[in-house]
Amino acid sequence: MCIGIPMRVVVGSEFIAQCERHGAISSISLMLVGPQPPGTHLLTHLGSAIRVLHADEARAIDDALAGLAEAVEGRAFDMLFADLISREPELPPHLRGE
């Protein structure tokens, strides 16, 4: 399974950015997304940015990752999946038989 981690650009150049998540700074390749200004949220995987995210999408992914960690530890996690709790599951458009 591959897990993308949301991070925020602190400072960047054309090909590399210093990105932050929960106070930790990492060097992230920008080769797939191009140069990004400070404050931009990125979905990262194995040291590379793979997609630019909106702030609310980055927060939802971060909450889901925190929810998984809470579930593994046997603690309450429902509040971290608020976007899923109050609705029925939906298939993506390309899988619907409409």
User: How many domains does the chain fold into?
Assistant: 1
The Cα–Cα gap between 33 and 3 comes to 18
**43 in a domain, yes or no?**
yes
Residue 1 pLDDT level (bands cut at 50, 70, 90): low
Domain containing residue 75: 5-82
End-to-end Cα spacing for the chain: 30
65-77 per-position pLDDT tens digit: 999 999 999 998 8
For residue 89, is it within any domain?
no
pLDDT in tens, 34-89: 999 999 999 999 999 999 999 999 999 999 999 999 999 999 888 888 777 778 88
Angle (CA) 6 39 27, round 5°:
60
The answer as to whether 95 is a domain residue is no
The reply to whether 96 falls in a domain is no
Q: How far apart are CA 72 and CA 15, in angstroms?
A: 36
Q: Sign of torsion, CA 48 54 59 60?
A: negative
56: domain CATH number is 2.30.30.140
Whether 92 maps to a domain, the answer reads no
pLDDT value of residue 91? 87
Report if residue 39 sits inside a domain: yes
